[in-house]
Amino acid sequence: MKIVKQWIKVEPYDGIEIEKRIERACRVCYRSNDYISQDSYKQLITNCIKSGHESVIEHEKISVYFYGDVGSYKDLTRHRTGTSFSVESTRYCNYSSDKFENDIHFIDPVFIENKENYDFCIEGYKFAEEFYMKMANNGAKPDELRMLLPHGTAAEYVLTANIREWRHILRLRTSKKVHPSIRQLLIPLLLKFKQDMPELFGDIPYDEDFPTEWYAEIKEY
Ligand SMILES: Cc1cc2nc3c(=O)[nH]c(=O)nc-3n(C[C@H](O)[C@H](O)[C@H](O)COP(=O)(O)OP(=O)(O)OC[C@H]3O[C@@H](n4cnc5c(N)ncnc54)[C@H](O)[C@@H]3O)c2cc1C
Tell me which residue of 212, 209, 155, 160 sits closest to 188, measured CA to CA.
Answer: 212
Number of domains in the chain: 1
Whether residue 43 lies inside any domain: the answer is no
Cα separation, 73 vs 88, whole angstroms? 10
Helix, strand, coil distribution of the chain in percent, nearest 5: 50, 15, 35
The pTM of this model reads: 0.96
C-beta of 80 in contact with ligand 1 (< 6 A):
yes
C-beta of 32 in contact with ligand 1 (< 6 A):
no
Whether residue 180 lies inside any domain: the answer is yes
Crossing angle of the two packed helices 180-196 and 163-173, in degrees rounded to 10 = 130
Specify the pLDDT at position 78: 96
Q: State the chain's mean pLDDT as an integer.
A: 97
* Nearest residue by C-alpha to atom 36 in ligand 1: 81
In the chain, what percentage of residues exceed pLDDT 90? 99
Tell me which residue of 7, 13, 2 sits closest to 163, measured CA to CA.
Answer: 13
C-beta of 82 in contact with ligand 1 (< 6 A):
no
- pLDDT tens readout for residues 112-134: 999 999 999 999 999 999 999 99
Whether residue 32 lies inside any domain: the answer is no
Reported confidence tier of residue 144, pLDDT bands at 50, 70, 90: very high
Specify the pLDDT at position 86: 97
Which of 57, 81, 163 to mutate for ligand 1's pocket (most ligand atoms within 8 Å of CB)? 81
Whether residue 25 lies inside any domain: the answer is no
Reported confidence tier of residue 159, pLDDT bands at 50, 70, 90: very high
Whether residue 48 lies inside any domain: the answer is no
Specify the pLDDT at position 183: 98
**The domain spanning residue 92 has which CATH number?**
3.30.1360.170
Specify the pLDDT at position 54: 96
Specify the pLDDT at position 17: 98
* Torsion angle, alpha carbons of 208, 211, 214, 215, to 10: 30
C-beta of 77 in contact with ligand 1 (< 6 A):
no
Specify the pLDDT at position 79: 97
Cα separation, 106 vs 128, whole angstroms? 10
C-beta of 177 in contact with ligand 1 (< 6 A):
yes
Specify the pLDDT at position 161: 98
What is the 172 CA–ligand 1 centroid distance (Å)? Answer: 9
Domain that holds residue 98: 1-13+55-221
Whether residue 69 lies inside any domain: the answer is yes
Specify the pLDDT at position 66: 98
